[in-house]
Amino acid sequence: MAFGGAFHRGSKADDAFGEPPHRNHSIAWYCKEFAQLGFVTCSIDYRLVPENPEPGSTVVVSSPDNIPRSRVDAVREIMGLPPACAFTLWRGVEAASDDMALAVRYIRHHAAQWSIDPTRIAAGGFSAGARTALNAAFGEQEPIAAVVALSGYMHLDDLRRHIASSRSMPRVLCIYAENDLDYVTANCPGMIRCMRSLGVHCESALVPGATHFYPADSRALHDQSGPTTVKEAMENFLIKAMTA
């Protein structure tokens, strides 16, 4: 799983932001919770935009203009950074995708040592981490069984392009909040419809009344099983996806 922070902040140890009740659980916390359920879990690191990373040769986001700016600009202001050009942001998003793909390959390489079934690897994350998980699965085309995206995003043009050339179709769970980031609430319903229309098994859960920063015990309206919590929706989805 990959942490969130608008590709500018956060870490594999802590990406909890906001104030209760609008404060998310960190990805490291989720990893510990799912480890207790019997999943082998990894909270991964990836390069951030302020590091000016050099991306690899694979292109996940076809145009820098496809990267939403609202949250990135707000976080840069919080960090005391000047506005960044679209190309700088694009390099960071691409580098993060490369790093998660590398992490997946590293886990697969150690599958026997860690008693992992290499055909049952899931990727996920929160916010920027969710976008990175989607990018690794569809853009980098890592053979991943499932994706759990907490407030994730992928431009529909990129999504269609990647699915059309994909060698495998991971199952996807999209969770997002009623009052999420502007581009998440605007894009998630269309992204879900797009995946379903192109043959991807995609489930969704809406967190009513929540902002972008929602805790694991938040009430979530799953489109197939009805009311649950964010964590329960993730757990149930992963159990189904890993045994499909």
Place of tokens 């960190």: 26
Q: Per-residue pLDDT tens for 33-46?
A: 999 999 999 999 99
Q: 82 by DSSP, 3-state: which?
A: coil
Residue 156 tokens read as 């529909």
pLDDT for position 167:
80
Ordered domains of the chain (ranges, CATH) = 18-243 (3.40.50.1820)
pLDDT of 217 over the 80 cut: yes
CA-nearest of 182, 113, 183 to 154 is: 183
CA distance 2 to 115: 22
For residue 1, the model assigns a pLDDT of 98
Q: What integer pLDDT is reported at residue 234 of this predicted model?
A: 97
| d(C-alpha 140, C-alpha 155), whole Å | 15
Residue with tokens 């964010």: 230
